[in-house]
A and B are shown apart, each in its own frame.
Chain A
Amino acid sequence: MNVSELTLLVLRFGFLLLLWMFIFGIVYALRSDLFGQRVRKLKTDATPAPAFSLSAVPAAVPAAAAAFTAPVARASPATDSDLATAHNTTRLIITSGPKAGTEFPLGTDTITIGRSSDSSLVIRDDYTSTHHARLMLWNDEWMLQDLDSTNGTFLAGSRVTVPTKIPLNATVKIGATSFELRR
């Protein structure tokens, strides 16, 4: 079989093209890494306007979830001053936002929060950064660290700037979602 110069030339360019298409295929599949996760539009009925106010207190909990969280919320004032530690905290409860009422078990691992799909707590709304904040254990105490997020992380109404200890049952607010650490 004799191969003409032209065939070889075409095949040569074809190979380079194929190689680059493979690379751009991978980059295309990775686009969420480069440009961040797609934002999911919030349903207006699920998050009423009060949820956006910065002084988020249990009063802002949507009505749908209030029925469930009410008993827990009533019991909370007694233990307000206690800090959340690895020993007295077992779960994280979402108190407002689209998934109000859901709970998330806490182990000893760091909990990362953000829009990126490798976060432990993925919050996909317009107000959350790709890597927004994290909860971690320092000397057995749960700390909240803001990862330089655009819209900030709020602990009991005030913005978190340095890693801060979290009191039990205190509201942590990220975007339109707030949660508490509970026993």
Chain B
Amino acid sequence: MSKASALSAQPATGPVRRLHLPQKLRNLELFLVLIACFINASAVVLVQLGALGELDPTLMLLGAGLSVLVISLHVVLRFVARDADPFILPIATVLNGIGIAMIYRIDIANKQGGWESAAVRQTVWSALAIFSAIVVLLVIRNHRVLFRYTYIAGLVGVLLLFLPLIPGLGQEISGARVWIHFGSFATFQPGEIAKIALAVFFAGYLVRNRDSLSMVGKKIFGARFPRFRDLGPILVVWALSMSVIIFQRDLGTALLYFGLFLVMLYLATGRLSWVILGLGLFLGGAVIASQTLNYVNGRFTNWLDALNPDVYNAKGGSFQLVQGLFGLAKGGLLGTGWGQGRPEITPVPQSDYIIASLGEELGLAGLFAILALYLLFVARGFRIGFAGQDDFGKLLAVGLAFVVALQCFIVIGGVTRVIPLTGLTTPFLAAGGSSLVANWIIAALLLRLSDTVRNQPRLVV
């Protein structure tokens, strides 16, 4: 069905007006993207003024490189997804740029410079990530294509998840076995990409099978609980996340996948009983794991008794967590200013603890601004799902947005001592290539979904 002939109009009443404002949406996006680039550039300038006391034009190229990439993505959108949501790209740009500025700031503190520094690596990864987003937008012209590859996506997701367990390919860094390495220079966390594949799989699977999961069952205490034989899928995903906890020793990833499945199951069936059941299963598993697995037990101790000097000084104790809290406390309401705090005292301040570093230098006001950006990003994703006309697209959009939200909650909750600390990357912000690539692909998929949603034949009365 071509766009022009999508609506036939009666000559008596004049042509049907389509609610089609592509230029308006894209111009709004361009305006916001330019502000976003300005914010990123001023962050880098402020880091240099604050930490070096002078301007260093060579590394200004960092900010400029990201701007060029984002604007090229914007141009691609003008051609292939004209009705896409105008807010996703600027929000992702600001988050990515603030992350690069903070990583650059920590490079300065650690006296790292030149092309080997973490900030340059992060910029190169951003380039790769935005390039993959462009490729996704060009290749996937309609999200329903993904529906055909439901089970392949599921297989790919599980394979990626367990890739690091292959001897010789997998690599263990600070206890968790979630990386794979190519040679000595590049490491990759395949679990990050797996979350997209699994979101596609869950969406496709639940659209096909939700009837049997939602219609039948016994009523207990007002909620309809599923039959025993319908528990298969949730038990499989539960076993999968428990094996991640046991073999890869990564609590965060396990929680992320299980939470994603639970939310999509709830969306597809509208049954609260699944959430109760799933939370019960996960809490049971977590309690057993905390009793039997040393590292999980340690995480719980660090969380509950963080400020105890014994725990603080112990090897693998709460030193890092408490340093992060001290940093946040030093930042106060308005922060110390870019380049004027000492975030480098906390171990890994540029990846797991980037939120603590940003909280120190930008204060509560800056941290809440970052959280507000995440809120807007996730809200756009939910909104796209809500407006969607097909169930697969609805589930996929909400699943992708929720995975970003849950990841933020797990990592920021861990740093601020709301939940036990688990190693996950803060979406768009933290140093780490695989996470950047995965999150930019999520952004690209949301852009594609929003374009399809708005591109339906439409009549305005």
Q: Contacts A1-B53, A22-B36; is A122 near B459 (CB within 8 Å)?
A: yes
User: Given A8-B49, A8-B337, A120-B456: A16 and B461 within 8 A (CB)?
Assistant: no
Is B369 part of the contact surface with A, judged by Cβ < 8 Å? Answer: yes
CB atoms of A101 and B12 under 8 A apart: yes
Asked whether, in the complex, the Cβ of B19 is within 8 Å of the Cβ of A122, the reply is: yes
A30 to B87, CA, bound (A): 9
**Which residues of chain B are within 8 angstroms of A27 by Cβ–Cβ distance?**
376
Nearest-Cβ distance from residue B135 to partner chain A, whole angstroms: 27
Check if B322 is an interface residue, CB within 8 A of chain A: no
Interface string of B362-376 (1 = CB under 8 A from A): 110110010011001
Among A20, A33, A94, A118, the one with the most B-chain Cβ atoms within 10 Å of its Cβ is A118
Nearest Cβ on chain A to B62's Cβ, whole angstroms: 17
Nearest residue, chain A, Cβ from B45: A11
For chain B residues 40-54, which have a beta carbon within 8 Å of chain A? 42-43, 46, 49-50, 53-54
The answer to whether B456 and A109 touch across the interface, beta carbons within 8 angstroms, is: yes
Partner of A120, one of B28, B39, B390, B458: B458
Do the beta carbons of A116 and B387 come within 8 Å of each other?
A: yes
Residues of A within 8 A of B54 (CB): 1, 3
Task: State how many residues of chain B have any CB contact under 8 Å with chain A.
Answer: 54
Which residues of B (7-25) have their CB < 8 Å from a CB of A? 7-10, 12-13, 16, 19
Q: Is B334 among interface residues, defined by CB-CB distance under 8 A?
A: yes
Interchain CA distance A160-B28 in the complex, whole Å: 39
Contact B461 A121 (CB under 8 A): yes
**Alpha-carbon separation in the docked complex, A130 to B132 (Å):** 36
Closest Cβ of chain B to A106, distance in Å, is: 10
Contacts of B113 in A (CB 8 A): none
Q: In residues 121-170 of chain A, which contact B (Cβ within 8 Å)?
A: 121-125
Give chain A nearest CB distance to B242 CB in angstroms.
38
Residues of B within 8 A of A65 (CB): 13
Contact between A20 and B53 (Cβ–Cβ < 8 Å)? no
In the assembled complex, B383 has its CB within 8 A of some CB on chain A: yes
B460 engages A122 (CB within 8 Å): yes
- The answer to whether A104 and B7 touch across the interface, beta carbons within 8 angstroms, is yes
Write the A108-120 contact mask toward B (1 if CB under 8 angstroms, else 0): 0110100011111
**Nearest CB in chain A: distance from B294 CB, A:** 42
* Contact A12 B335, beta carbon cutoff 8 Å: yes
Q: Which of A's residues lie within 8 Å of B, judged by CB?
A: 1-3, 7-9, 11-16, 18-20, 22-23, 25-27, 29-30, 33, 65, 67-68, 94, 97-105, 107, 109-110, 112, 116-125, 177
